[in-house]
Structure 1
Amino acid sequence: MDKATPVLLYDGVCGVCNGAVRTILRFDRHGSLRFAALDSDFARDIIARHPRLAGLDSVVFVRDPGLPGETVSTESAALLQVADYLGGPWRLALAARVIPGFLRDRLYAAFAAVRYRVGGRYEACPVPSPEVRGRFLDATYG
């Protein structure tokens, strides 16, 4: 897989987040978006390069990971990046860009605060199925 393909960092023990990752896997027409849990070695490397991410408990969309043009989007902007990446009907979500970012991020934070109550919490990050395991960047998965 091309190193420049985007990576989505997510809360690996969050039930809602894991459900979202499964949904993305199902609708990813490109079949190339990769994933890493926020507590993975891969995510720690990204965070080290982008100190503003330290302590952030949010989804992070990483474009061109490890390359000179690496960029990160967080919270609602990351979700919009995912919608743009998925394309098709998911691009309708991009209409949310008319809402100021600080308002979108407040809504994101409000949901994030209750996500474990809504979707549950795993004791450990679930192991992906063998068919998609290669798209997960974590020492645990090889």
Structure 2
Amino acid sequence: MFLPSPLPDIILFDGVCNLCNGFVQFVIRHDPQSRFRFAAWQSEAAQSLLRTHGLLPDVRAAEPESVLLLSGGRLYSHSTAVLHIAHILGGRWQLMKMGWVLPRSWRDALYRFVARHRYRWFGRQESCLLPTPALKARFL
């Protein structure tokens, strides 16, 4: 069973990807308790955070293909990160827990398929998302 950490959970995402930015906006809208913090892969804050936790070499294979979740000192990637995020959001998003019945290899294959085509399907920005002043505290 996944137990939430007392520390804020951190979502690392591709800051130039429109799909990823949309996902971040979705999480912000459905996280009124502000349990999540965010950092774009491209930011020094994200790279520093990964170095501090000794995770930088481990995640190079996923960068920037995957949204990552750093929660309770553990790093989750691909579909597992999304399922954990949905669980933490609670409410109706917990229905996504049905995704756990699928083998991880199947879930991640679908995740990687979308990730490979995300720029073509959803576009990309020239630079990372700049949060509004009201949301700035939630970004590293």
Q: Which residue of the other structure, out of 43, 51, 55, is the alignment partner of 2:46?
A: 43
Within 2, Cα distance between the matches of 1:32 and 1:130?
Answer: 18
Within 2, Cα distance between the matches of 1:32 and 1:9?
Answer: 14
Shift in Å at residue 3 of structure 1?
Answer: 8.1
Partner of 1:113: 116
Q: Which residue of the other structure, out of 50, 53, 58, is the alignment partner of 2:59?
A: 53
Within 2, Cα distance between the matches of 1:35 and 1:91?
Answer: 21
Structure 1 unaligned blocks of 5 or more: 65-69, 138-142
Amino acid corresponding to residue 18 of structure 1 in structure 2: N
Within 2, Cα distance between the matches of 1:102 and 1:124?
Answer: 32
Instruction: Say if 1:12 and 1:3 are closer, same or farther in 2 by CA, change over 3 A.
Output: farther
Q: Which residue of the other structure, out of 76, 85, 90, is the alignment partner of 1:87?
A: 90
3-state SS of 1:35 partner: strand
> Could you list the per-position Cα deviations for residues 34-53 of structure 1 after superposition, in whole angstroms to 9, with x for gaps in the alignment?
00001222221343312221
Is structure 2 residue 104 aligned with structure 1 residue 98?
no
> Could you list the per-position Cα deviations for residues 79-116 of structure 1 after superposition, in whole angstroms to 9, with x for gaps in the alignment?
00110111000000011000011110000000000101
Within 1, Cα distance between the matches of 2:60 and 2:139?
Answer: 21
Length-normalised TM-score, structure 2? 0.88
> Could you list the per-position Cα deviations for residues 10-47 of structure 1 after superposition, in whole angstroms to 9, with x for gaps in the alignment?
00000000011111111103223100001222221343
Structure 2 unaligned blocks of 5 or more: none
Q: Which residue of the other structure, out of 64, 71, 90, is the alignment partner of 1:63?
A: 71
Amino acid corresponding to residue 91 of structure 1 in structure 2: Q
Length-normalised TM-score, structure 1? 0.86
Percentage of pairs with the same residue: 37
Is contact 1:32–1:135 with CA below 8 Å preserved after alignment? no
Instruction: Say if 1:8 and 1:19 are closer, same or farther in 2 by CA, change over 3 A.
Output: same
3-state SS of 2:24 partner: helix
Instruction: Say if 1:134 and 1:83 are closer, same or farther in 2 by CA, change over 3 A.
Output: same
The count of residues paired between Structure 1 and Structure 2 equals 131
After TM superposition, the structure 1 stretch with the greater mean CA deviation from structure 2, 12-21 or 55-64, is 55-64
Is contact 1:47–1:54 with CA below 8 Å preserved after alignment? no
Shift in Å at residue 131 of structure 1?
Answer: 1.0
